[in-house]
A = this chain, B = another copy of it.
Amino acid sequence: MTVLILTSEEDVTADMVVVHLNASGVPVVRLDPADLTGGVALSGEYVHGAFRGHLWASGRLVGMEGLRSVWVRRPGVPASRVPEPSDWLSEESSQALYGMLRGTDARWMNHPDASHRARHKPWQLRLAQRCGLPVPATLITTFPQAAREFAARFPDLVVKPVSGAHPQEPPRAVPTSRVAPDTDFTAVAFGPTLLQRRVAKRADVRLTAVGERLLAARKVTPPDADPDEVDVRFASAATPWTPVEVPPRVAEGVRDYLRQAELAYGAFDFAEDADGTWWFLECNQSGQFGFVEVETGQPIARTIAEWLAGQEPEAGTACGGGTSGALYR
């Protein structure tokens, strides 16, 4: 039973996981859909009520029925590296590859449908609420008057994109920024705007969830930090990420979130306030974990390898150990 990894050639994070799979003797096929129909080929046959499919990559042929799991890491656009790429060929290749893989019994990290849905931030906020995770008061609006009234109720606000990264090539992350007290909200009418109560944070928390296992890390906000620096991705690296235990109520909410979102992997961002409450900011279904593993020593890559190899304990059993980052200190 083979693990299929869909990612670009240069992906050191995938390399970290492959090392663990190789060490456990689990067969791995790694390919980039961009290499269809050059270095990668496919074939699938539907005859007499049955399906038999094959993938060919790096000189190896693998049966699709023999796939134990598919890791959708950072795959390129299908068939985008052929001499004459076209939208039509990419679409045909995408449907052929993912259409056949979708029909197999392999486990997905993450399933493309779940990933697609999980990118919707308004949906994330609602799901987090439903799972009992504290969500800072948020408004998404195209009504200037709604924005003004919200700012009157919650005077200390941040603004962030509804959709995440700017869709240019390469994608550019748009930082979360503080809203000045005298802001004129007239321009809200020209595009949906996401306003959120700023959490006066004493730390940022990154919780990496792999199946039922939760690995959390915490980065203390320095006491002299500029309160305008709200986005940890763009903040100075004055303090390190250190492992932290996940409060039981948060663990319960996060597992509920993953189940309902049908995600096998998620990188949760929380802001910890002075009372110790973890406020849900977002869950990135394809969030990086390399920097956390390097700084904290938490075995995220190994945990992913174990999940892909199908060795992780079933939901609801033997999860206690996975809950606690303290195990890995």
Contacts and interface: CB of A to CB of B under 8 A. Distances in A.
A1 interface: no
Size range of the chain A interface in the assembly: 35 or more
Nearest to A189: B37
Contacts of A126: 46, 51, 100, 102-103
Interface string A28-61: 0000000011000111111111110000100000
Interface in A126-180: 126-127, 129, 135, 137-143, 146, 150, 161-163, 166-167
A146 B55 CA distance: 13
Interface stretch (A113-121, A238-246, A298-306): A113-121
Q: Which of A93, A99, A103, A141 has the most CB of B within 10 A?
A: A99
A30 B45 CA distance: 43
Contact of A42 (B47, B50, B88, B141): B141
A49 to B, nearest CB: 5
Given A95-B121, A103-B122, A140 B44 contact: yes
Given A92-B161, A126-B51, A163-B92, A45 B103 contact: no
A103 B117 contact: no
A47 B197 CA distance: 10
A179 to B, nearest CB: 16
A122 B44 contact: yes
A191 B79 contact: yes
Nearest to A150: B45
A163 B93 CA distance: 9
A72 to B, nearest CB: 15
Given A42-B192, A96-B122, 6 more contacts: A37-B189, A45-B138, A88-B167, A100-B122, A100-B123, A103-B123
